[in-house]
Structures are given as C-alpha cells and as structure tokens.
Structure 1
Amino acid sequence: MKFNKQIIGFFSGIIVLIVALLLPLHGLAWEGQVFLGLTLMTVVWWATQVAQSGYVGGFYIVSLCLLKLADTKVIFASWTGSTLWLVIGAYMIATAVKRSGLGERISYMYILRFVKSWKSIIIGIFVLTLILSLLIPNPWSRAFLIMSVMSVIIKAAGMPKEDAVKVGFTVFAASVPVSLIFMTGDSIINPLVISYSTESINFVRWFVIMGPPAIFLSIMNILLILILFKPTKEINMNFEEVKKAQSDLGKMSEKEIRTMIWILIAIVLWITNGITGLDIGWVTLAVAMCLSLPVIGNVLTAKEWGEVPVHVLVFLTAAMAIGKVGAETGLNNWLAVTLLPGELPGNIFILAIFIAIIAIVIHMFIGSVIAAMGVAVPAVLVCTNALGINPFVIAAIIYLAVYTHYVMPFHHLNILVGQGEENGMYTQKEALKMGIPLLVPVLLTVIFGVLWFSVLGLV
C-alpha cells in the first residue's frame, strides 16, 4: 500500500480515537469519552482531507446515531430550525444573481467608475465584496463571481502572472473579514454565532454589534495586503476590454430585473426583521423559491438545485452537532474544567485576548472554523457564565478570532476554495505570507471589538 496524506490521516484519526478511549479521563462519563474520541478522529480526518468533508461528516453523524450518544433531535437540531434552510436559500439566490448576469453588471459598473490603479483594484475588491454581500449571502459564490470579473481586469491591465496571483488571493482573502459586516454576509456561520445569544439578534442588531469590528479588520486587511503584495510593474488599464465585457452582457434582461426586485425585497425584509419578526432564514428560502415561480420569477429552474452542495449541508450538520452533543455527553463541562484555568483574568481586555488565543490555537489544530467554534464556545461559556458576561459577547470574541485568522488554506474554507490555478491562481505560499502577520490585526480587532461592545453596554 502506498502511503499518502489521506491514508496517513485515516490511520492517524483511528489511533487518536483509540488513545482517547484508553486514556483514564477522570470526571468524564464513558459516553463523553467515546464522543471525544470520535470528534478528535473526525477533526483529524477533516484536517488531513482523508475524504470529502461531507463524507467524513456523514460518517461522524452516523456514528453518533448508531452509538446513541444523543437523541437524533439533538444531532440534527440544525435542521429543525432555519439555519440550514438559510444556507440552501443563500446558494439558490447566489445562483440567481450569477446566472442572470446581475452580479457581473454591477461589478463592471463599479470597475469602470472607480478602478484606476493597483491600490484601487485591491480596495475595489473589498468594496465589491461588501456590495455583493447584500445580494449574494454566500462568500464562496461572491468570490468566484468577483474572480471572473477580475480576470477581465487582469487581461485589460496586461498583468504578469505574479501580479495576477496577488489579485486572485485578494479576492478570496477579502471574503473573510467582509463576510462579518452583514448578518447575511456568511449565511452558513453567522447564524451559528447568533444561536449562542440570549437576546434576539436581527439584521440591524448584528450590523450594530459586529459591523464596526469587521469594518476595522477589513481596513487592516487592505493595508496588510497593500504592504505584503506589491505589484511588479505599474498598472495601465485598457478599459476597452472591460467595456467590451460589459457590452457583451447586452441590455438589462427581464431575468436581471426580476432578480433585482426579489433581492431588494429580501434586503428590506432582512433589515426590518426586528420589526416584522420574520426569521431571516425562512425569508431567504422564501425569496429563493419565489425566483423559481412562473410570472413573478422564472429565474431558477430545476437544474439549479444542483448548485446546492449536499456535502456542505452534511458537513455543517456534523460540525454544528459537536457543541450540542458535547453538552449532552458532559464533554463541554469536562473540557472547561480540565483545559481552562480555575480562575480567569478579571480584566475584560486581558480575558478577551486570553480567550482569543485559546480559540486560535484550537483552530490551528482543528482546521474547521465551525468545528473550532463547536469545541471552543461551549467550553469557554461554562467558565465565563459565572462572571455574568453576555454569552453572545464571548461567542463574538471567539468568532472574531477563529473566523478571521488562518495560516494555511485548510484553516478557512473561503481561502481553501480559491486555491489552485483554475480558481484564484494562488497557492499555500500566499496564504502563509498573509496568515502569519495577520495574527496582529486579528488580536487588535478583538481589543477593538471589546471596546465597541463596552460602548454598546454589552460588557
């Protein structure tokens, strides 16, 4: 048998499971110990990519069910609410915006007006990501759409390959901090953070709380990219190429108009959900379904269901089950008592940095943002509940640290999906070059976030 990364990872995961089962873990029930071993094995398999994330997640879910470590209502809790239905609706809306041509049209309009130099290209990528985050509630779909537009820019500017790679990396790197600004910026993970809140977090409330720290980090990312990724030659734009790509779209079609109308309806309902009480997840799914209906839609067809990746839904189900099943089996309490110090720092800023560093270390080993959140948040909440700190603040601090920091592409799916010649053109080298110094802006953002939360009276 030829040993490669997948096979080594496969057996490593099994060894981790066996070790976890054999260790004398005092204070942890057998169910919790089995759950710990299965979770660590799954994390190792995810990190080493022994198989597609959906297959690994599916095996994990089946194992939890067969071993009866928790009731199926707990394991599949993410499906009984709107969270995963929001993901399905988001993918469908993203497909509608992409297939109708609306996203490209908006992008070209922006480029012709504002893009003149290397600096404006980098800033423009972040601005386009922000604009499209209101139209496409999925970071990967946004990034690939912007990348298709940037390929026209790369050609129009006659960029050498080295500079084109930097642009490609920026497209996917921008999707990380900008996705936190609006609640719908990342329809997969943002709702997970909200689930830890004891208060109702609507679209506006999310922007008020998370928007400023995310904007701060986005600016820090722009500055870091401009410092680290300088062009090898001056940019001279040939706008005829861009104008041709824009003219190839033709006049605004009926599909684009209908798509734009439904997107505007969705945005209005997202923004006013604090008044209407309508769940953002169900609103997103409803808009996606309306885009398929005759007369009022006719944008989405039967084949568009293929754009909803089942493996992502299975992966999310598995990752989101970690925290809930961990609570059922007693693992969360055990981790809090065992791994965290008995007395936490009293100063909220020192505490926030301490929590952020712990979360980042967990994330560096686990690789998955959702899995790291599932392990870190419940364990830390057990310790901080006695301090009387708002659970959402703790979840937000961990989220700011875990979601926004990466070193290698596998640490963040937004970076991983863009890797490769056929996608963003970049390799692990660019992610590593950005990821190591990125730790400083991330920790500064955590401090800024706590300051902002204090202004809002949350801490």
Structure 2
Amino acid sequence: MVQVDRVFTRTLTIILLHGLFLLVTFSLEGLDYKAKLSLFAFLSAMTLWITTKIPAGYVALASVCFIVFMKGGSQELLFHSLSEEVVWLMIGAFIIGEAVTQSGLAARLVEIILRKSRTAGRMKMGIISFIFATAFFIPSTSGRAAMAKPIIMHVGSRLSPGEKRVLAVTVPVVILMSTSAALIGAGSHMISIGLLESASGQTISYLQWMVWGLPFALIVTILSVLVIKWLMRQEATSAHWDTKTTVEVTKPLTMAEKKTLVIIAFLLAGWMTENIHGYDLAFVTVLGAIVMMLPNIGIISWKQGIKSVSWNLILFVAAATSLGKILVETGLVQWLEEKITGFLFLFSQAPDWIIVLGILLITSTSHLYITSHTTRAIVLIPGIILFSQSAGISPSAAVFLSLIGMNYCITFPVSSKALLLFYEDGDLNYDAGLLTKLSAILMPVYIIVAVVFYFTYWQWTGMSLH
C-alpha cells in the first residue's frame, strides 16, 4: 500500500511539473511555437531521466518524436539524429574497446596497475592520476573516456558492485574536472582562443594556460574525488584485494597486442593532430575501428565488433543530441544569449568579485540548457568578449574564466559525452539522480574555488580583469 502511494505521489508530481513547464514555456515572450515546444520537450525529458526508471533512450527518442509529431521540427530531426558525430564516435569507441579487450592488452595493462597496487584505494588513485594526465595529449573528453573505458571495465571486475558504481561516476567526473589543465583539453578551448584572437588580438599560449589551469584542475579534481567518496560512502565497501593474484608482466607482447598498440598509437596521433589533417575525431575513431576489424589482419571480426556496441546507449545519445540541437535551430539558445548578455552588462561598473562571480555563475550553469560543450563556447564566448571590451576589462581573462566555468558539466548524463559513455552500460554504470545530487554539492564548490583562485594564484601569475 505504501509503495502504491509513493508511485501515485511521484506520478502526480511529474504530471504537475509538466503542467508547470507548459504554462511557463508558452508564456515566454520572444519565442515562437517551435522554440517553446522544444523547450517543453527538453524540460520533460530531463524530468523523466531524473525522477523515473523509464529507459533513458526511450525517453529521448519519444521526446524527439513528440517534437516532430507536434510540428515543432521536421522528420529529418529524427532521421538525422544517427548522423551526429558523437554517435559514430561512440560506435567506434565500443569497437576499439572490444579489440583492446580481445587482444589481451587491456588485461596486461590491468596487471601492471594491480602489480603496483597493494590496496583498492591505491589502484583507484593510480587510475585517476593516469586519466588526469591524458588531458595533455588527447584533445577531447570523449577520446579520453573511450580510451579509459576498457581499462576501467577490467579493473572493475575486481571490485564489489558498489565500488563499480563509485568508479563509474568517478572516472568521467575526473575526466571533466581535469579538462581545465591543458589548452588542448577540449576542442572548445581552441575555438574560443580563435575567437579571442580575431576579436581582440589577444591570446592565451599553451604554457600560459598550463600555468593557470593545471593547479586549478588538480585542486577541483581532488575535491571532486573526495565529495564522491563521501556521497557514496555506503556503496564503497572494502574490496577483497588479493595481491597474490597479481602477476609479474614478463611475457612478451603477442602479435595481437603489438597490432593493437600500433593502431592505438595512430589513433592518438590522429586525435592530437585533428587541426592539421582536418578529419574529425569521430571519423578517425571509426577509421581505427575499421582497421581493428580487417579480415585476417585485424584484431576482432566484424560480428564481434558490432556485437560489442551498446545500441541502447547509441540510440539514447543520438536522440538526446538531437534534443540539444533543436534548441539551437529554433532560436531558443540565441534568445538565451541575448538575455544573458544583457544581464552581464548590468555589472559593467561592478567590482571585480561581482564580475567574476557573475561570469562563473552563468558559464558553469550553461550546460543545463546548452548540452554541447562546443556549442556553449560558440554561443557564449562572443558575448563575453563583447562585454569585456565594452566594460574595459581584459578579454583574455574574461574568456579564460568563461571556459573554466563551461568546463563544469556534470549535472545530467547528457551534459557531456564522457558522462554518456559510462551511463546505462553493463555493470559499470551510475544513476542520473546521483549525478544531480553530486552536482548540487560540487557546483558551488567549483565556483568558490575558481573565485578564490582568481583573487590569489591567478592574479599572482598575471591574470586580471583590470
């Protein structure tokens, strides 16, 4: 009876929330019917992802179909969803991960980690350190997640179910929090620096970014790991860590492992030199997957590769990405940009601490309504530069602070591709509601740390708005 009452209460609450969304969205001025419908569908999907156990892919797909059915978008919105770059990136990533597993290379890497780890805690710290370091040579959070996942899956086999869930949250959060460490940590950094150079003539070098970003990224990563450990303390039980099961890695590399290493090396080179050869990250990843499945030459067969893809997750990513895309196409994002830029101009004569806090609040919450990291930069950075020039403050400092804020994106699974890669997939998964709780703690912590850094270390090292 109590269970029935809870279900009834939850259902009624969700219905009332949808009624509220409907009233609010369709009462907004300056938006047409399609923009309002898209906003309503997006809010509805977010609510269902967090408050229900309905499969996330089903909710996303149904939301896209709802928009099309209600004439809020063309049918191509659904059909073209599978052509999104992130979809093919993830398909390729699953295949490459399977090849790494089947070759035996993942097991070898796991044994190296385990051989140097006497406790589960040390093992986790080793993995976190490795993931943090990848920010300096892989210019994509998605690429870093794709590379880390097969290793994490194997290490997870030695952990309890609760510890697996802790690891599934910790890994993508560390990937995202360490993004600020390097200029090539995210494609949005490069795009924004390009906009900064063309609009103001100022720039931020690789070394300067590292001086400013590395200490900050290190601090927020450590704090994030501690908050996750505290929040999930009931799930993280002591592991039965048998160090005797670890073996010395003395056997020579097999032919399959050698081929896998060579292909991965070319993949890393391709990801790092995207601006030189012009091929997108997704294309390079799929190309690597094709090589992995070459008949009689590759690591795995076509059937093995296709079977390794989590199609439930792929459909969710495709539909969720289309939901974010329609917000841009209907003009909703542009409308939000105008509102936000106008809000910033109110603070043009304000003291530095208000300007810094205002920029960080707006940019760190932008992932709630602009799901793409790159889109956030394209939409917000021009307004930030315009504001900085009119207010007489340093455009480079304002852009750096904005990118630091935009790098925070852990509230929802759809907020980042790295989060999506570990969402609803096999044993290594996490709950969307937990992610929201985590963000409720980490977001204010992240902003406070950034403000403290600005008035101490960043100013000491030459970054100032005035």
Equivalent residue for 1:354? 358
Contact 2:363 2:405 in 1 (8 A): yes
Q: Over residues 51-100 of structure 1, what are the superposed CA-to-partner deviations in whole Å (9 max), with x where a residue is unaligned? A: 22222221222233344435567787776664432232222212222332
Q: Over residues 304-352 of structure 1, what are the superposed CA-to-partner deviations in whole Å (9 max), with x where a residue is unaligned? A: 2233333434433444345543344332343345576262534776445
Equivalent residue for 1:137? 143
| Alignment equivalent of 1:218, drawn from 218, 221, 224 | 221
Letter in 2 for 1:334: W
Equivalent residue for 2:15? 11
Once structures 1 and 2 are overlaid, which stretch shifts more, 282-291 or 10-19?
10-19
Give the distance between the partners of 2:319 and 2:121, measured in 1 at CA.
41
Contact 1:122 1:222 in 2 (8 A): no
Provide the TM-score with structure 2 as the length reference.
0.68
Equivalent residue for 2:403? 396
Deviation at 1:228, TM superposition (A): 8.5
Once structures 1 and 2 are overlaid, which stretch shifts more, 342-351 or 35-44?
342-351
Give the distance between the partners of 2:366 and 2:131, measured in 1 at CA.
28
Q: Over residues 145-201 of structure 1, what are the superposed CA-to-partner deviations in whole Å (9 max), with x where a residue is unaligned? A: 42542553x6xxxxxx7xx95686256313312356579x9xxx956787777569x
Give the SS at the match of 2:299: coil
| Alignment equivalent of 1:102, drawn from 100, 105, 111 | 105
Cα distance 1:226–1:325, how it changes in 2: closer, same or farther (>3 A)?
A: closer
Structure 1 portions without partners, runs of 5+:
155-160
Give the SS at the match of 2:407: helix
Cα distance 1:109–1:290, how it changes in 2: closer, same or farther (>3 A)?
A: same
Give the distance between the partners of 1:173 and 1:447, measured in 2 at CA.
24
**How large is the Cα RMSD of the aligned pairs?**
5.3
Give the distance between the partners of 1:75 and 1:29, measured in 2 at CA.
21
Q: How does 1:12-51 map to 2 (within 5 A)?
A: 12=16, 14-20=18-24, 23=27, 25-49=28-52, 51=54
Give the distance between the partners of 1:81 and 1:425, measured in 2 at CA.
24
Q: Say how many residue pairs are matched.
A: 431
Give the SS at the match of 1:297: coil
Cα distance 1:118–1:70, how it changes in 2: closer, same or farther (>3 A)?
A: closer
Q: Over residues 195-252 of structure 1, what are the superposed CA-to-partner deviations in whole Å (9 max), with x where a residue is unaligned? A: 777569xxxx9998587354443344456678889999999964311229x79xx764
Equivalent residue for 2:246? 242
Cα distance 1:325–1:67, how it changes in 2: closer, same or farther (>3 A)?
A: same
Contact 2:68 2:75 in 1 (8 A): yes
Q: How does 1:106-185 map to 2 (within 5 A)?
A: 106-113=109-116, 115-116=117-118, 120-130=122-132, 137=143, 139=145, 142-143=148-149, 145-146=151-152, 148-149=154-155, 151-152=157-158, 165=162, 169-170=166-167, 172-179=169-176, 181=178
Give the distance between the partners of 1:420 and 1:270, measured in 2 at CA.
24
Contact 2:176 2:409 in 1 (8 A): no
Q: How does 1:296-311 map to 2 (within 5 A)?
A: 296-311=297-312
Cα distance 1:314–1:168, how it changes in 2: closer, same or farther (>3 A)?
A: closer
Contact 2:97 2:150 in 1 (8 A): no
Deviation at 1:301, TM superposition (A): 2.8
Equivalent residue for 2:392? none
Contact 1:266 1:287 in 2 (8 A): yes
Deviation at 1:262, TM superposition (A): 0.4
Cα distance 1:89–1:315, how it changes in 2: closer, same or farther (>3 A)?
A: same
Contact 2:91 2:286 in 1 (8 A): yes
Cα distance 1:317–1:357, how it changes in 2: closer, same or farther (>3 A)?
A: same
Equivalent residue for 2:58? 55
Q: How does 1:277-296 map to 2 (within 5 A)?
A: 277-296=278-297
Structure 2 portions without partners, runs of 5+:
197-204, 390-394
Contact 1:17 1:37 in 2 (8 A): yes
Deviation at 1:47, TM superposition (A): 2.4
